[in-house]
Structure 1
Amino acid sequence: MWAAWLRFRLPLDPIADHGTWGYLSPALRKLTGAEFGHTYGRNFIYPGFIYLLLRGFGDFRAITATQHVLGLLAGAILLVTWQRLRVFVANPRIGPVAHSALGLLAAAIFLWASDPIQFEMGLRPEGISAFLISLNMYLAIQFIACFFVEGRRVASIAYGIATVFSSIVLASAKPSFWLASIVMVLPVAMFFFQRGLMWEKVALGGGAAVSAVLLLLPEHFLSRNDKESETLLPSVLFAIHADLIRDQMAEDLRRDAKVPYSREWLERVYAALSAEIKEAIAANHFRTLGFDPDYLMYGKEYHKDSFAVQLRREFGGNVSALSTFYWFYYWRIWRERPLLVVKKIARQMAIFYAPKCPAYHLRKFLPLTDEYNRGMTSLSSEAYRKVWTTYPPAVEFMGRVELLARRAPIVQQPAYIRRPLGLLAETYVPLLLIALAASAAVLLQERYRKHLGWLAALVLVAYMYNAAACLEVAVIHSLDYRRYITVQMFPALLAQFLALWFVLESAIEMRTRAKSSCSDTGSMYRSGPDAGYG
């Protein structure tokens, strides 16, 4: 009840930002008589979610209310998942009361923290990410339990199909979780390497294939009419690695290297890129990159004639040729400067695996007036107004946002939640290292592996989930964008509590065996041939 009050006491009008239009526009077009389609290369899952809510309720507040409910469900799924994990330990040393208390504490921290609540108020897929992540992890754990531990084949097939489906939905809604979703699908893939089970494999493979077709085929057809879909990934890769690409261009010009572009044209592009990077350095708020990649893609405050726009003009609007250029120089720095690219990735990973894990935000206050003001500005361009002014609920929504931009409340994160968040932030890396050492000790010794092997494996999988999500962003984008980190709070929290339980179980198990071993040794000496001598 407290978690619900923390959410529903706040304004229900969702908060927009500069990326919102890509998700909102398809829904508004469909609601005003046009076709539902891609905008700015965004997948259809979240825009479809917005469309269904606006079609059903005709009020933007239904979006935030629904996302709050899904956030509460994510907390409930965390509890259910935690209880289900107990099946992986045959005779747990930690009693059911203590185990349940740990689960309740984890759920309370998640539900009372301010970051999940803030995400649920946003007009972005982060608003439903915690629910999708929780469902994905729960279904994967259910599959592992049903197949590998309990031997329930029919249930295994159902949960395996559901795991694949939820993984694709999560990765489609939030592409930065593609690699993490693959981690969750790996146990399902192992099913196909088991001996026999022919019909079960056919059923699971068929269901997974149908899931992929249902989710990926519509995306394929919708993206064909969106030119941004073709350039989105390569343009991001180019902008994020712009300094390395600039240096490579300079080297190509100095050596007169054989590249598929004329020297005169390349000199012009190099000069423009160098000038824009200098301005991007001045506008920088990315501490590891050293420049602002958004400045290169969108210009100052998303209004300037950016480098991306200039480059598009250089190619006469030929999207395919532009994408080819982006890809050419991205792969060229991998061939010519691989160590520098790897260093960039390592610096990005170090952001998450810092002494204080940034997945937990420790701020005291969040002024919602600032958030609503930015949201109002982001939707106020003339091109956007032409669309949303034709939909009355959008006009009403913007009117309410204008008022909230002046007198919205401040979200407070009290000390009783900041302290555990701070402790979790400080112990993420140490607990990871301890869990790795304990896992190695357990998995390498048969006497411990039989009892705690599955729990050790699950701890590793949970930590791999965060690592995979970070690695994907580190390779493609930048973890300086805080939302890529804080959206990982749910899996980070589950991994840490799972590791804590595992470490406690391991310590008690090893201590018990050590005592038993000492007792047996003492008994042997007492009952030996000289035990009664003298």
Structure 2
Amino acid sequence: MLRKIAVRANIIYVFGLVIIFAGAIWMRVNLPPMPFSDRDTWGYLQPALSQLATGSLDPTHRGFLYPAVLGTILKIWPNFVAISVVQHGAGLIAGVFLVVAWQRMRIFLPLGRVVQPCYFLAGWLMLTVYLFSYASILYEHTIRPEAFFPLITILCILLATEVSRRILIKSSRTISYAILVVLLTVLSFANYYLKPAWGLALLVAMAPIMAIPGQVVTRKLLPLCVGFLIVLALFIVPERSFHRTVNGNSSFLARTAFCASGEIIYGVLKQDSSLPASDPLQTAAQQLLPYFEAAMQPPHRSLPFGFSRLNPDTLMYGGAMDKLRKMCHENTEELIAACFTYYWRAWFHDPLAMLRKIVLQIVYFYCPWKSVIYAQGQDFHLTARLQESLSNLQMIHNESSYSWPPYQKYKQQLQAWVDQMPNRSIPSFIVALSTLLNPLYTPIVLLSAGLALWTLLSKTSRFSGLQPSARWCLYLLSYNFAMTFTIAVVHIVAVDRYHFSQTIFSILSQSFAAIFLICAVSHLRGHSSVNAK
């Protein structure tokens, strides 16, 4: 009887998943066939177009991986519709692997009559939130690397799950460990080269490797070496080759860190301005201060959360960075050194202010009333996005790229769809669900993380059954923290693509944390009942 109930429950669960996928496909099919472009698109698209149109590479300040993917797609299928088809396909496949990962990590939770139905419901909810996310669909339909980020991320989590499962059941198959370690290493680095904001989350993804028991050489060191050699061949060497003729990408981290710490660096410059006129620091301060002070004068862009005087983007694009580049004689190495020198001097000048900046950026992500975990947008405003896409394409600087026929066709398609494209929107219940889950995220994170730590540190036997789920709960929650911390250190979190791109592991970690709390209550109640008897 129980087996029949379990079979029926599984059938209902799978049927529900099919309906969710069908709805998600329908949402994507009803968008215009060609992808959108934004202000960053030219940096990704121009290298691909120049290679296809002229046969010579024209790199930009962006990384090489996503432009290489675009070039491959357009070479195989020379139509810009291919980009949106492939990217939406990647998003849907990410949903498939999300379900697979969810099922595979069920092993970390204790058995119980309450757990399974809750686990099924959480699986439906998790998949619905991800596949119908306003941000997820929009990123898939825009020429941006965020389209592939969820797929590689969930593959990393799935591989980490498989490693951890084998550790839990004490598997002795060395070859399976080795293969998983190689794949996890390669994909973790691939995600970093696709989206550098992944940052410290790379270490989180690879953390289960350190827990692999026995045979250190064959299960850890050798596979890691193989993985790093593949990373060297696939990512590091091509990246260096790609940017041999342009140095913007190599200085991007330094420039970003400089501008994001601009409010504190302003204090450093004010201090330097009082030095003797013969001091080079005084000369540099006198040249840079007018640009900083101009950035503080209205009108200026709205200030991001945690900033009281200036917007980092104003420094990056408003003249200060151009002036610093000229002071460094247009030499990239000198520019990087100058940016990092001021960044570290800001730490010495006012470490509390630098810490405050980082903490406030993390607070922004976890603040319940900010609602930045899941996008709550509804209308896609397709006509406006198509018009904006046409405007953004004018930023493609290499004129020879314009002559490539598929690119001309892409522009014509955008123009043709501007006047005939009806608006599309996310279902209201999805928006309501995101609105509900946003403020619940942080309380669930804090409760589950606190309980998980208590479970792991407790010496009583009644918590032993919860320890695998406690470890896994903390592991999943650490993805959001690691990526948010990375962004907070060098940039600002209050940028939509930085927090909404985390949707897939935000909903995964929140769902698992909620189930962990339910399991803990059920486990403790059951333990109390046994003791009472």
Structure 1 distance, partners of 2:48, 2:247, is: 19
Tell me: CA distance 1:476–1:505, structure 2 relative to 1, closer, same or farther (3 Å).
same
Match of residue 14 from structure 2:
none
Residue of structure 1 equivalent to 2:228: 209
Q: Secondary structure at the match of 1:384?
A: coil
Q: Tell me the distance in 1 between the aligned counterparts of 2:77 and 2:511.
A: 39
Q: From 108, 130, 134, give the equivalent of 2:154.
A: 134
The SS at the match of 1:412 is coil
Alignment counterpart, residue 306 of structure 2, candidates 288, 294, 306: 288
Q: CA deviation at 1:147?
A: 3.2
Question: Match for residue 167 of structure 1?
Answer: 188
Q: Quick check: which has more Rg, 1 or 2?
A: 1
The answer to whether the 8 Å contact 2:174/2:218 transfers is no
After TM superposition, the structure 1 stretch with the greater mean CA deviation from structure 2, 219-228 or 426-435, is 219-228
CA deviation string 1:485-519 (max 9, x = no partner): 10111111000110111111111110001011011
Q: For 2:246 and 2:440, how far apart are their aligned partners in 1?
A: 44
Amino acid corresponding to residue 319 of structure 1 in structure 2: T
- Indicate how the Cα distance of structure 1 residues 235 and 198 shifts in structure 2: closer, same or farther if over 3 A, else same: closer
- 1:480 matches 2:488: no
Please show how residues 254-333 of structure 1 align to structure 2 within 5 Å. 254-256=274-276, 261-278=280-297, 282-290=300-308, 291-299=310-318, 306-333=319-346
Preserved CA contact (<8 Å) 1:388 1:395: no
Cα 1:318–1:346 change in 2 (3 A) is same
What is aligned with 1:462?
476
2 CA distance for matches of 1:368 and 1:69? 20
**Structure 1 residues 225-278: Cα deviation after superposition (integer angstroms, max 9, x where no partner):** 22112321111112212222122110122255996x253343122223322342
Match of 2:176 in 1: 155
Aligned to 1:33: 54
Is 1:55 the counterpart of 2:69? The answer is no
Greater Cα shift, 451-460 or 102-111 = 102-111
Aligned counterpart in structure 2 of residue 348 of structure 1, from 341, 344, 361:
361
Q: In the alignment, which residue of structure 1 is the partner of 2:89?
A: 69
Separation in structure 2 between the aligned mates of residue 119 and residue 251 of structure 1, nearest angstrom:
44
Structure 1 stretch 138-147 or stretch 468-477: which is displaced more? Answer: 138-147
The structure-2 alpha-carbon separation of the partners of 1:327 and 1:202, relative to structure 1 and needing over 3 Å to count, comes to closer
Q: What is the match of residue 20 of structure 1?
A: 41
* Separation (CA, whole Å) in 2 of partners of 1:379 and 1:364: 25
What is the CA distance between 1:483 and its match in structure 2? 1.1
Provide the identity percentage.
Answer: 24
**2: distance between equivalents of 1:466 and 1:12?**
32
Match of 1:393 in 2: 406
Is it true that 1:451 corresponds to 2:470 in the alignment?
Answer: no
Q: 2:129 touches 2:434 (CA, 8 Å); kept in 1?
A: yes
For the residues of structure 2 that align with 1:12 and 1:288, how far apart are their CA atoms? 39
CA shift for structure 1 position 202? 4.4
Preserved contact between residue 360 and residue 421 of structure 1 (Cα < 8 Å): yes
State the structure with bigger RCO (CA 8 A, min sep 6), 1 or 2.
Answer: 2
Structure 1: gaps of 5 or more residues = 300-305, 520-534
How far apart, CA to CA, are the structure 2 residues paired with 1:391 and 1:454? 56
- Runs of 4+ aligned residues of structure 1 deviating over 6 Å after TM superposition are none
Conservation of the 8 A alpha-carbon contact between 1:70 and 1:128: yes
Q: 2:199 aligned to 169, 178, 181, which one?
A: 178
Question: Partners in 2 of 1:396 and 1:468 — Cα distance?
Answer: 42
Q: Output one character per residue of 1:302-353: Cα deviation in whole Å (capped at 9) or x when no partner.
A: xxxx332233233332222222221111110011111101111111111111
Residue 517 in 1 paired to residue 521 in 2?
no
Q: Deviations over 1:417-468 (max 9, x none)?
A: 1222122112101111210232133222452443221111111111110001
The match for 2:431 is 418
Query: What is the Cα deviation at residue 197 of structure 1?
Result: 4.3
Find the aligned partners of 1:480 and 1:338 in 2 and give their Cα distance. Answer: 22
- Say which SS state the counterpart of residue 297 (structure 2) adopts: helix
Of 468, 481, 494, which aligns to 2:508?
494
Mapped partners of 1:398, 1:170: distance in 2: 30
Counterpart contact for 1:23–1:47, Cα < 8 Å: yes
**Helix, strand or coil for the counterpart of 1:366?**
coil
CA distance in 2, matches of 1:440, 1:17: 43
Query: CA offsets per residue over residues 164-219 of structure 1, 9 Å max, x none?
Result: 1110111110110021121111111333xx44443333432232222321222221
Please say which of residues 367-376 and 241-250 is displaced more in the overlay: 367-376
Q: Separation in 2 of the partners of 1:108 and 1:283?
A: 35
- Number of equivalent positions: 507
Structure 1 residues 125-150: Cα deviation after superposition (integer angstroms, max 9, x where no partner): 01111111111111111111123434
Q: 1:50 corresponds to which letter in structure 2?
A: L
Deviation at 1:105, TM superposition (A): 2.4
Distance 1:62 1:7 in 2: 14
Asked if 1:409 is matched to 2:422, the reply is yes
In structure 1, C-alpha distance between the alignment counterparts of 2:270 and 2:118, rounded to whole Å: 62
Shift of 1:153: 2.8
Cα–Cα, structure 1 residues 202 and 328, in superposed 2: closer, same or farther, change >3 Å?
closer
**More displaced 10-residue stretch of structure 1: 4-13 or 208-217:** 208-217
> Per-residue deviation at 1:473?
0.7
- C-alpha distance in structure 2 between counterparts of 1:81 and 1:164, whole Å: 18
RMSD over aligned Cα atoms = 2.1
Q: CA deviation at 1:95?
A: 4.9
Alignment partners' CA distance in 2, 1:77 and 1:518: 43
**Unaligned segments of structure 2, at least 5 residues:** 1-21
Query: Could you state the TM-score of these two structures normalised by the residue count of structure 1?
Result: 0.90
> 1: CA distance between counterparts of 2:187 and 2:275?
50
Structure 1 pair 348–265 and aligned structure 2 pair: CA distance change class (3 A): closer
- The question of whether the paired residues in 1 share the 8 Å contact of 2:99 and 2:123 is answered with yes
Q: 2-side partners of 1:83 and 1:118: how far apart?
A: 27
What is the alpha-carbon distance in structure 2 between the residues aligned to residue 10 and residue 32 of structure 1? 28
Spell out, residue by residue over 1:364-418, the C-alpha distance to the aligned partner (whole angstroms, 9 max, x if none): 323122222222222214x626143121111111122233444543331222112
Letter in 2 for 1:491: F
In the other structure, the counterpart of 2:251 is: 231
1:527 matched to which residue of 2?
none
**Counterpart in the other structure of 1:100:** 120
Partner SS, residue 380 of structure 2: strand
> Would the alpha carbon gap of residues 412 and 174 (structure 1) be closer, same or farther in structure 2, given more than 3 Å must change?
same
Q: Is contact 1:147–1:153 with CA below 8 Å preserved after alignment?
A: no
The alpha-carbon deviation at position 14 of structure 1 amounts to 1.1
Residue 526 of structure 1 is matched in structure 2 by none
Q: Distance in 1 between matches of 2:420 and 2:266?
A: 46
Instruction: Say if 1:258 and 1:96 are closer, same or farther in 2 by CA, change over 3 A.
Output: farther
